[in-house]
Amino acid sequence: MITAKDFGADFLWGASISAPQNEGAALEDGRGLSVWDVFSRRVAAIRGGAKPTVASDFYHRYKDDLLLAKALGFSSFRFSISWSRILPAGTGKINQAGIKFYHAVIDECLLLGLTPVVTLYHWDLPQALQKEGGWANHHILKWFARYVKICVQEFSPKVQHWIIINEPFAFTSLGYMTGFHAPGKMSIQSFYLAAHHTALCTAEAARIIRQINSNAIIGSSFSFSETHPHRNQPADLRAADKADLLLNRFFLEPALGMGFPMMDGFPVIEKFHLFNRSWRFQEAMKCDLDFVGFQNYFPVTVRHNPLIPYLGTSEVSAKSRKVPHTLLGWEINAPSCYRMLRRVADYPGVKKIIITEGGCAEKESLLPGKVADPLRINYFQQYLQAVLQAKKEGVAIDGYFVWTLTDNFEWAYGFTARFGLVRVDFDTQLRTIKDSGYWFRNFLGGTGDR
């Protein structure tokens, strides 16, 4: 049985949360509305009608939650800053109560010996900016730059580790093209613009952080999913290539100075390049990243489907293929995670990798005095073994952050998808450490599952 010691003494072990999913206090202390506050008001937008207004109440319970992270053996804590708590209108006057709150969180982390790892943008755009078009408005470049500058000036040098943007493909595609996530837009044009501006903002933020704090350790988090064709036929093989371009290459390659990837005969991408053909944009999107944040939950199997607009591709579910999967139907496949780690590491310009999220949702068993979640324990055992294999083979992996510390508001799934090592009763806010939490405590303490 492997333990944390096998990864080396300097390996970062962390637990993760995000502001829109955990903080709550949506209407307190001068915070402005975010796109998720407004999107959750739509009928049937969120499973069960859930809203992030209270979530897991980290805003009021951060000391208790940080103590839990410490008690489970973690050495780092990843959290995000709510843009609308710092700048309620997205621009303009700074909310000093928001500044004070994040100073308190950071100070508590340092008091407990937890390295704070701060994500600047985890999908909660101020609603006031969305009214102006949000990420599809080119003014987002100056809006985001000012927000980043305020945060880095305020919280450096107490914070050295910065993650610029969390999973850019997810929030631009789900939020601006499919409408499945906030702000709920369904426009290919909006997606083009949002993606273009996001890539430029990521690079500009990296420059701003470096200018303010020359000792900063800067990264941005990207989602990766190995893609497979459903059948070994030309149409499905091409569908897998399309999915790979979007899921794995679309934002990473611009950040590495390679520009947006291209595919002949893929109209979505050919048209997108009208925005990004010039050398000037390719240079402007290049980031000086100290690490790539790697987030891999599942591989995808796809088939050609001419009925799907723009993409001509659809996923073949893990359940229908009768392979192991989580509560949300996400395939469990640790060897796929290993292969993606090797692939990302092979890119020129990737200095190091930090796995900034990893975890799974399952249907847990509530027993007297405990929460049994054997699938989650098995998941971590498999995936951490895959990470260790890649590390032993020379992949520069510097850390692993569990998603997530406590159950939270899981986007469109509301409170129905639980990823936490700690269970939250959303009626009472009672915390209960799950079996997976105790497993991690043993793992990080060097005792395995004994």
Q: What are the catalytic residues?
A: 167, 357
The two three-digit tokens of residue 77, written as one number: 């804590």
The two three-digit tokens of residue 106, written as one number: 């950071």
Question: Phi then psi for 234, rounded to 5 degrees?
Answer: -50, -45
The two three-digit tokens of residue 414, written as one number: 């509301």
Rounded CA-CA distance 359/332 in Å is 10
Question: Phi then psi for 408, rounded to 5 degrees?
Answer: -155, -170
